[in-house]
Structure 1
Amino acid sequence: MTATERQTPKQARGRAAVASILAAASELLEEGGFDSLTTATIATRAGVNIATLYRYYPNKFAIVRELAQSIEEERSGVALAALAELGDAPDWREPVVRAIRAMAQLRRDRSGATAIRRALQSSPELWHLDHDVNAATAEAIAPFLLRVNPALPAERAGAIALTVVHTVASLLDLAAGERERAFGLERELELVIIHYLEPELDGTGAA
């Protein structure tokens, strides 16, 4: 079993143990960050013995990776669900704003989301997961941009999509760390993305 795989529990007790381990890791990340996280503290918080934890996860990276994978896939999913309306909506700006707001709301609603994002950025072992999800999301978004402006070269649509995905992720990370100003920063993010896309999706920019 590698650091990115785990044994799948077949019984309800095992599934409950895995759920407890993931919940405990999420809580501890919120409380102390990635560097202070250990398998021992996770097992204690989860109410399982360390042997049970190691039955499913070889190390803390595997636990955080599973948490991150779930959040990153959900982040991509809410963005794509909103952007699917691009090309059909009366104004492309509306689904773009909805996508940004849905991702921001996910950060607020999902326990441990901010701490997990920080772990992805601080750990070389986890950084590539964020990179891979961003790349996959951008690849999925590019065709939506082409529906709005079919004159865009496909390669440029891909570059625009990747720029948007990374910009949104980075500025939402910033907003998460500035809680008193989070909503204001999110509105600024919307303006940044709208102004960036206008020349391309309204067909007034250079190809």
Structure 2
Amino acid sequence: MPEQAAGGRKKQLEATGQPRRIPKQQRGRDRFEKILSVATELIEENGSDALKMSEIVERAELSFGALYQYFPDKSSIIRTLAERFNEQGRRCVEAELANVSSAELLRQALCSIVDQYYDFFRSEPVMRDIWNATQADRVLQQVDAEDMEFHSQRLFDVLIKLWPKCRPEELLAIARMMMHLLAAAVRYSISLGEEDGRAAIALYKKMLPVDIGHLMATP
């Protein structure tokens, strides 16, 4: 069935970037996961820009009604996949920052985080594609912004513990800047070939200050 055959129902759906509903019954969850699995396969084959709801319907052997019952648009599928990948990244950041008790350990933790993120995106072409998609889609930019703020807040918690006499607003600004720079380093590095990418990550780690405290002024 052509994608346009979904008729007026599709036109009534707003591009919110959110799933229409999260199923609770096993049958619904199985269908939900099948849609995401098929979407992942198609993104890996052709990229997220080429992803079409009609192709998902055909490969998943579903009706348009069944698909739109869970996902109103392509953005909602990509957002769901992005949030799942982001959850893995959040666990990595939390684990690395959990036991930081000194400036040197903080630097080591940041180096470990950037290494893990680089390896993750290098080994996951679907996530690499989706990460780029979140930058180009206005609805999906919110996903990236929320994830970045999560990481910034976790780093802020560490900074305020290590430098309690510094102004909180300054520490938060530094935390946000550092996480944005880390993400930019990874994004740039995965755009290069394997050898050049690892060299770029190594250079970023050399640029990290040994003692981040010198960036801050005491009140």
Q: TM-score range with shorter-chain normalisation?
A: 0.7 to 0.9
Alignment of 1:38-187 (within 5 A): 38-87=52-101, 91-110=105-124, 112-180=126-194, 181-187=196-202
> Are residue 200 (structure 1) and residue 215 (structure 2) matched?
no
Contact 2:170 2:216 in 1 (8 A): no
Which whole-Å CA distance do the structure 2 matches of 1:206 and 1:121 have between them?
A: 31
Which whole-Å CA distance do the structure 1 matches of 2:124 and 2:95 have between them?
A: 18
Per-residue deviation, 1:102: 2.3
Q: Which amino acid aligns with 1:185?
A: A
Deviation string, structure 1 residues 153-194 (Cα, Å, up to 9, x no partner):
2111111111111111122122222132222222222223x2
Structure 2: stretches of 5+ with no match in the other structure: 1-12
Which deviates more, 124-133 or 43-52?
Answer: 43-52
Q: Which amino acid aligns with 1:183?
A: R
Q: Which amino acid aligns with 2:212?
A: E
Deviation string, structure 1 residues 80-108 (Cα, Å, up to 9, x no partner):
21012221686332222122222223323
Which deviates more, 149-158 or 81-90?
Answer: 81-90
Which whole-Å CA distance do the structure 2 matches of 1:13 and 1:165 have between them?
A: 40
Structure 1: stretches of 5+ with no match in the other structure: none
Which whole-Å CA distance do the structure 2 matches of 1:27 and 1:177 have between them?
A: 21
Contact 1:139 1:158 in 2 (8 A): yes
Per-residue deviation, 1:79: 1.2
TM-score (norm 1): 0.85
> Are residue 188 (structure 1) and residue 200 (structure 2) matched?
no
Per-residue deviation, 1:140: 2.2
Which whole-Å CA distance do the structure 2 matches of 1:131 and 1:12 have between them?
A: 32
Which whole-Å CA distance do the structure 2 matches of 1:164 and 1:46 have between them?
A: 42
Contact 1:85 1:95 in 2 (8 A): no
Which whole-Å CA distance do the structure 2 matches of 1:72 and 1:57 have between them?
A: 19
SS of match in other structure, 1:117: helix
Aligned to 2:20: 6
User: How many residues were matched structurally?
Assistant: 202
Structure number, greater radius of gyration? 2
Which whole-Å CA distance do the structure 2 matches of 1:185 and 1:147 have between them?
A: 30
Deviation string, structure 1 residues 133-162 (Cα, Å, up to 9, x no partner):
211221221020122233332111111111
Give the percent of matched residue pairs that are identical in Structure 1 and Structure 2.
Answer: 25
Which whole-Å CA distance do the structure 1 matches of 2:82 and 2:66 have between them?
A: 21
Per-residue deviation, 1:61: 0.8
In structure 2, relative to structure 1, the CA distance for the partners of 1:15 and 1:183 (3 Å cut) is same
Contact 1:86 1:145 in 2 (8 A): no
